[in-house]
A and B are shown apart, each in its own frame.
Chain A
Amino acid sequence: MASTAQELAFSSIEALSARIQRKEISPVEVTQTMLSRIDELNPKIHAYYTVFHDEVLEDARRAEQEIARGNYRGPLHGIPMGIKDIYEMKRTTCGSQALQEYAAEEDCVAIKKLKDAGSLILGKTATYEFAYGIQSLKSPVEPVRSAWDLSREAGGSSSGSGGAIAAGMAYSAMGSCTGGSIRWPAQCLLHVGLKATYGRVSRRGIYPLAWTLDHPGPLARTVKDSALVLQALAGYDELDPASANVPVPDFTAKLDRDIRGMRIGLLADLYEKSCDPKVLEVYDKAVDKYRSLGAEIVKVPSIGISELEAIEWPTLWSEAAAIHVRNIRNRGDQYNPNTRQFIQWGLLVSNAYYMLASRCRAQVRDDLNAALTRDCDVLMLPTAGFQGPPPVAEESPGLNFIGSAFEIYTPIFNFTGHPAIQVPCGFDSDGLAVGFQIAAKPFDEATMFQVARAYEQSEPWHTMHADI
């Protein structure tokens, strides 16, 4: 029945894994459903660059046999996922013409961990070139479309990962976040997007955009699904210099606890003046919902949007320039013109600027840590202050966003390193999805999940999906 296939395609991992464990459904059946949908829908959505039809079915049969023998590995066993094409696994293009022939010799750490947990890799998903943040029609690659509205993009840079989940072509998919590339497409598509604490997940084998800002993480349908994926990913990697040698707790331990009496700190200085009123109206209802759930709402002083931008973008692009400068010089024509220009812009950032930004960044991090220690349990703010996702553009936005209104509030936690999650909170008056972020103390993802889940379970948004 069509409705059953639809329900299966848009299931949460939590629900699906329970059925797999009880042997009510086979990983082979689940995987075949995903592959059928990809065959049908990917030509419209453009979420996948590469699909591993034969390999993933073979992996699914192996998972089926293991589970039949009683060797159930856990909630990701037999769950099909997508992987952003900057994670090393077979052909890895980073969405660039410069890397069309590159094939990784081995899987990156994150993929090995997901495979160890039993997840099934459906394929490699689309990304803006080298995970940089603005889509361009000058790219030879078709933009990923939103399943909610095919005339609109999916958001990015983890556009294929979000696009695949929104179209029922994956249960979760890995993204990467340097300034918001997980949380922004998650907002656009009514998903949950997770960036754990800097150092929680190994970056080894993932193509860098900016070393001190990059965070790997999943997009998923629910808060609990995000926690389950993080459980598989987290852990110390001595070969990643930023990896933190800290214990990995049970990220689901506090999920169903009451939040009455918890203090939620609003970073109002960052968004109150710059946020689109249509977005703010929906966000304010989410704040009110938290009040009704018994949380105490407090305001926490913070930087404004111009300070955020002054720290984030030059830091990001000067680090990216250090990575790409040789290739830009020798084969810049193989880059998307906008990517090339961003990298050239990074070369204009002086070393003194970079150090000033680093010191300001440290101050912001310390201020937020102090607030999270003294004033509140978690922080809350909108994911972005403008409506999205944008229509598929006829012209590239280029570097025009620099110095103009570009009110995305996600980068603050990239440069401070705090864990942050995007939670969908409904639709604005134009029917576009809106979301908010919850951030917590470093390595306290469990509290972040607890607060995010409390809201999620009080509203219907996580049960909704595009009719495609």
Chain B
Amino acid sequence: MDSREMVIAKLAEWDIVPSEEDLAELVPAYEALLKSQKVLESMLRTRSMGNAMEFPLSEPAVIHDMGRYR
């Protein structure tokens, strides 16, 4: 599948049919998203957080606990 077909298929999962005007914007934006995905993967490879045993501290709410950084 090329990017255009991927965009159409992914939006179909949500019962959304993009217009041609939408697709003209979405297809290059989707390709940029795939490049960003590689950037994130690189971040993981180069950092200790690649260790999947660590809990995913993904919520900024835990920022409230500063004590553990000292």
Instruction: List residues of A whose CB falls within 8 A of some B CB.
Output: 197-199, 212, 241-242, 244, 246, 303, 306-307, 309-311, 313-314, 325, 328-329, 332, 337-338, 340-341, 344-345, 347-349, 353, 355-363, 365-366, 369-370, 373, 398-400, 402-403, 415-418, 441-443
| Set of chain B residues within 8 Å of A402, measured between Cβ atoms | 28-29, 32-33
Number of B interface residues in the complex (CB < 8 A):
39
User: Which residues 10-64 of B sit at the A interface, judged by CB distance below 8 A?
Assistant: 10-11, 13-16, 18, 21-22, 25-26, 28-33, 35-37, 39-41, 43-44, 47, 49, 56-61, 63-64
Contact A362 B49 (CB under 8 A): yes
Contact B35 A403 (CB under 8 A): yes
Contact A329 B16 (CB under 8 A): yes
C-alpha gap A353/B59 in the complex (Å): 15
The A/B interface has a contact count, at CB < 8 Å, of 143
Contact A399 B61 (CB under 8 A): no
Known: A329-B14, A357-B40. A345 touches B61 (CB 8 A): no
Contact B64 A199 (CB under 8 A): yes
C-alpha gap A363/B11 in the complex (Å): 31
Nearest chain A CB to B62's CB is how many angstroms away?
Answer: 8
Query: Does B1 count as interface, using CB distance less than 8 angstroms?
Result: no
Known: A242-B61, A244-B64, A360-B49. A341 touches B39 (CB 8 A): no
C-alpha gap A443/B36 in the complex (Å): 31
Closest to A349 in B: B33
Nearest chain B CB to A357's CB is how many angstroms away?
Answer: 6
C-alpha gap A441/B63 in the complex (Å): 10
| Set of chain A residues within 8 Å of B14, measured between Cβ atoms | 325, 329, 347
Closest to B60 in A: A417
Closest to B70 in A: A373
C-alpha gap A329/B13 in the complex (Å): 12
Instruction: List residues of B whose CB falls within 8 A of some A CB.
Output: 7, 10-11, 13-16, 18, 21-22, 25-26, 28-33, 35-37, 39-41, 43-44, 47, 49, 56-61, 63-64, 66, 69-70
Contact B28 A399 (CB under 8 A): yes
C-alpha gap A334/B11 in the complex (Å): 19
Contacting B60 at CB < 8 Å: which of A307, A337, A340, A416?
Answer: A416
Most chain A Cβ neighbours within 10 Å, of B14, B63, B64: B63
Show 9 A/B contacts (Cβ-Cβ < 8 Å), sorted by A.
A198-B61, A310-B37, A344-B18, A349-B33, A355-B56, A360-B43, A373-B66, A400-B28, A418-B63
Closest to A303 in B: B43
Known: A306-B39, A363-B47, A442-B66. A345 touches B60 (CB 8 A): no
C-alpha gap A337/B19 in the complex (Å): 10
| Set of chain B residues within 8 Å of A358, measured between Cβ atoms | 56, 58
